[in-house]
Amino acid sequence: MAKIIEEGRVCVKLTGRDAGKQVVITKVVNDKNVMIRSPERQKGKKERNCAVKQLEPTPHKIDISKEKEISKVLNIE
């Protein structure tokens, strides 16, 4: 089964300080890397690079142009 990696896809991070937390894919860089938003990184740069192999996609997808949707999924106040 192929992973569904696309902008707006909600995923669970498998490794690193964000392990076990939901993240949102904001940009697909190439077939191995994406840019993500996570609840752990809210100061300074909000997006960061992440390897696709560190993500487990969920069936949920959101509209990334709406900041409220991103905040709701990531539990950011």
**pLDDT (tens digit per residue) in 24-68:** 999 999 989 999 988 776 665 688 899 999 999 999 999 888 888
* Residue 1 pLDDT class (50, 70, 90 cuts): very low
Q: In the chain, what are the domain boundaries?
A: 9-63
First and final C-alpha spacing in the chain: 35
* CATH number for domain 9-63, candidates 2.40.160.40, 2.30.30.30, 3.30.300.180, 2.115.10.20: 2.30.30.30
Place of tokens 């992973």: 3
| Rounded Cα–Cα distance for residues 13 and 20 (Å) | 6
Indicate the pTM of the whole model. 0.85
Taking alpha carbons only, the member of 54, 53, 73, 52 closest to residue 8 is 73
DSSP codes of every residue in 26-38 = EEE-SSSEEEEE-
